[in-house]
Structure 1
Amino acid sequence: MKWGGESRAICKYLLMIEARPLIVRLRNFVGDTVLSIPALRLLESHGYRLELVGKGWARSLLEAEGWAVHVRPVGLRDRVRQLRDLRARFEAEEAGFQKRSNALLFPYAFSAALDARLGGLRAQGHAGDGRTWLLERGLPRRDGRHTLVEYWELACDFLGVQAEPPKDIGMRVTDAQREQAQALLAAQGVQPGRFVLICPFANGRVEFLDRSWPAFPDFVQRLKAAGVPVVIVPGPAEVLGAKDLYPSALRLDGVVLGVYSALLQQAGVVVANDTGPAHMAAAVGARLLSIWGPVDAARWAPWGSTVTLMRRGPGAWSSVDEVMAAVREALSEASPAALPQALP
């Protein structure tokens, strides 16, 4: 018997009824949240129903995973009230909720541990930053780890298991998100697999900083001259920069992260700086050219088998010619018949 998406959802719902609730505090950044997905799935596979606390955008980003996301308030008093309300709700649901570790903190910050303590939770998280005394148990934070591995090991330590992290994240998108992405592309006259999606900003800024490839505007002009459609999906703080720096790109404003993930998945190739959408692209299996300059990629590079790191060495950027050649190769694999003849 074949199981469709609806059948899997029903099965997951039935399993969740029996699962123990676990409050999980997400980090405040898109890339970190994406890199924590394998760890979250590991927790779920060991009988926990995840009750995530994080930024509002996490709801759209993680919608296809089916996890509850409680939007974290800004003020300390409201944050503590939220956690106390969640604690009371889960105590009423499970008699042993307060007799076990019932929260896991991905952030390293002192404030995350303080919130959990004031909220009456029995939380675990990484030791350090002077916060261990606030935790039920401080877990080791090991040196020399990629961030995804660090989060994975945090979940393993919480569970008391040993396991290897997956080679690919495999972040899901919903059918509705995929349909919305296709409609946005169709409105621009762009076909899936036949465009380059660029992520030229880093940290929500438009200035050329160390993490932003200085040659991005020239690169986009070269693509335009070669007849390659270029799509850009700016965040709220990036719209003006997108208008000024990339006027020839097809701009899609106001796109929520779940639909953005679907757009990344349908691109012929994604070219990105060290930024959250690069991690999203890798997570959904998009062909990704991840451009790095002075920053060390060992800890923060996008994770997955479809990622190509474009880097000459510490402090050196790839040239436009090098990236153009990589784009041509990626597009030829995605859609050989649609490859523009003018693309060098």
Structure 2
Amino acid sequence: MEPRRMLIIRTGGLGDSLLLWPAVTAVRRRFPAAHISLMGARARLLPLVCPGGADAAHEGEGSGLHLLMSAQPVLSLEAQRFFGGFDTVVAFSAASDNQLAENLSLCGAAEVHAFLPLPPAGEPRHLADHLLDALRGVDLAREGQTPPLPVTAAAREAAARRLGELGLENRELLAILPGSGSAAKNWDAAHFATMAATLREEGLAPILFEGPADRAAVAETLAHLRPPTPPVLRDDPPLTLSGLFERCRLVIGNDSGPTHLAALLGRPTLVVFGPTDPRRYAPRGARVVVLRAGLPCSPCADEQMHDCPERECLRRVTPAEVLEAARRFL
């Protein structure tokens, strides 16, 4: 019997959440009439609530989800009704959450599947493929080409307001994303400043994007730029970012959540990779270029990445190389 209501649980950062898109579209192809809900960090999942994607996104924090990972959960009646209201529940959870599937079944879900959130360590398998293949393996996904992530009307309206505030409604925009979730993944701020300055001379209007983890990287980039410095958009939610990136001729960044969003939208996206593995984490999209030095020591383990003072894998990616790639899109 085909499910009428399905819940897919996926927690994690923005990039981890967005890489669920190929899986969501494959589930939609398999069950066109089903109501598909997502649960995790709601703001990070909201861009996936769109035509061809999910129908709703729910916040995992405060939902009782964490209680379902214990041996004897004490759930409110409201939480039991919520989780029990789905025919099928799929959870991408840590190995230690082995109680989750059993407790979801006890809530009343007829079909429950729990999978590891990441491919095994050291396996050069892309995270998006891992998520998609898990659903294919239990006949919840149908083969097909992953479409670009649509931009909703609400996202376009929010982006128009933001650009109107900056007086940039009719400019050719360049998105510069100097930060990421870890400073160890960041290309040199001076290089981002070079890209902004050079491409501004060629007619683009650069904008710097800053999230909570990007303060230092953006400040350092601005310090390398002569006045007038580009505007900075701070802490815009992913839904608004999707509307903003849609208006950009080019996006340049590190291995970060916002670059994943730009790539999924089909925007021309240049991504500098250093210590992390693009085979597992590269942004997915039709117009993505990954730039990396390809040193024998890269990719490396997290502890090595954070302890490496040389950052040679990032230093060897030059502004000239990135500029050449940028001009191929312009």
> Normalization by structure 1: what TM-score?
0.72
| 1:260 Cα offset (Å) | 0.1
Give the conservation status (yes or no) of the 8 Å contact 1:177–1:262: yes
| 1:54 Cα offset (Å) | 0.5
> Normalization by structure 2: what TM-score?
0.75
Partners of 2:67 and 2:287 in 1: CA distance: 44
| 1:35 Cα offset (Å) | 1.4
Structure 2 residue aligned with 1:149, among 126, 129, 132?
A: 129
| 1:169 Cα offset (Å) | 4.2
Question: What RMSD over aligned residues (CA atoms) do the two structures have, in Å?
Answer: 3.4
2:196 paired residue number: 220
The number of residues matched between the two structures is 291
1:195 paired residue number: 173
Q: SS of 2:67's equivalent? A: helix
Which deviations, in whole Å up to 9, do the C-alpha atoms of 1:222-243 show, x marking residues without a partner?
Answer: 4456664211221134346424
5 Å-filtered alignment, 1:318-329, equals 318-329=317-328
Partners of 2:120 and 2:49 in 1: CA distance: 30
Which deviations, in whole Å up to 9, do the C-alpha atoms of 1:168-192 show, x marking residues without a partner?
Answer: 5411221121122123223323246
- Whichever residue aligns with residue 199 of structure 1, its letter is L
Is it true that 1:170 corresponds to 2:148 in the alignment?
yes
| 1:142 Cα offset (Å) | 11
Give the conservation status (yes or no) of the 8 Å contact 1:141–1:150: no
Is it true that 1:312 corresponds to 2:293 in the alignment?
yes
- Whichever residue aligns with residue 212 of structure 2, its letter is P
Deviates more, 1:251-260 or 1:281-290: 251-260
Q: SS of 1:236's equivalent? A: coil
Give the conservation status (yes or no) of the 8 Å contact 2:43–2:237: yes
Partners of 2:77 and 2:7 in 1: CA distance: 11
Which deviations, in whole Å up to 9, do the C-alpha atoms of 1:33-57 show, x marking residues without a partner?
Answer: 2111121122233334222211131
Structure 2 residue aligned with 1:77, among 54, 63, 67?
A: 67
Partners of 1:192 and 1:43 in 2: CA distance: 38
| 1:155 Cα offset (Å) | 1.2
Partners of 2:265 and 2:162 in 1: CA distance: 18
Seen in structure 2, the aligned counterparts of structure 1 residues 140 and 22 have a Cα distance that, compared at 3 Å, is farther
Seen in structure 2, the aligned counterparts of structure 1 residues 106 and 127 have a Cα distance that, compared at 3 Å, is closer
- Whichever residue aligns with residue 164 of structure 2, its letter is A
Structure 1 residue aligned with 2:30, among 46, 55, 63?
A: 46
Give the conservation status (yes or no) of the 8 Å contact 1:169–1:303: no
1:340 paired residue number: none
- Whichever residue aligns with residue 34 of structure 1, its letter is L
Seen in structure 2, the aligned counterparts of structure 1 residues 235 and 35 have a Cα distance that, compared at 3 Å, is same
Partners of 1:142 and 1:23 in 2: CA distance: 29
Give the conservation status (yes or no) of the 8 Å contact 2:46–2:57: no
Seen in structure 2, the aligned counterparts of structure 1 residues 105 and 90 have a Cα distance that, compared at 3 Å, is closer
Structure 1 residue aligned with 2:102, among 117, 120, 123?
A: 117
Structure 2 residue aligned with 1:271, among 233, 252, 256?
A: 252
5 Å-filtered alignment, 1:249-288, equals 249-288=230-269
Which structure 1 segments of 5+ residues have no match? 1-17, 130-138, 332-344
TM superposition outliers: structure 1 runs of 4+ over 6 Å = 81-84, 139-142
Give the conservation status (yes or no) of the 8 Å contact 1:27–1:54: yes
